[in-house]
Amino acid sequence: MIRHAAIFRLKHSAGSAAEADFLAALRELQAIPGVQDFAVAREISPKNEFDFVVSMTFADQAAYDAYNEHPLHVAFVQTRWIPEVSAFMEHDAVPLD
């Protein structure tokens, strides 16, 4: 199992229509085959400089690779993520057994 998360901050103002539109578009990624446990959340820790997190799990590396190469994901990254995200940190992990 692979747990994937991206913690990020948007260029848009908090509570704006542009912010809501981005988050709605982000949620469409959960339709990609192989995505499990998809969630979008607002960061609440004052120790963290980011505002949101999107997280999901994949059964294995093949499922994660297929997600990264899926046309919906590639298009989202190019048309939404790159132009609208001001900063992010990616987190990919496998459980310790």
- Identify the band that residue 12 occupies on the pLDDT scale cut at 50, 70 and 90: very high
**Rounded distance, CA 44 to CA 97, Å?**
30
Q: Domain segments of the chain: what residues?
A: 2-92
pTM over 0.85: yes
Angle at 42 between CA 96 and CA 84, to 5 degrees: 100
Residue 75 has a CB neighbour count (10 Å cut-off) of 11
pLDDT at 22: 98
- Tell whether the model's pLDDT for residue 58 goes beyond 90: yes
Identify the CATH assignment for 2-92 out of 2.40.50.140, 3.30.70.100, 3.20.20.70, 3.40.50.2300. Answer: 3.30.70.100
The answer for residues whose C-beta is within 8 angstroms of residue 64's C-beta and 6 or more apart is: 2, 4, 34, 58, 92
Task: Report the DSSP pairing between strands 36-42 and 2-10.
Answer: unpaired
* Whether 58 contacts 6, CB under 8 Å: no
83's CB contacts (< 8 A; 6+ apart) are 11
User: 63-82: per-residue pLDDT in tens?
Assistant: 999 999 999 999 999 999 99
Assess whether pLDDT exceeds 90 at residue 97: no
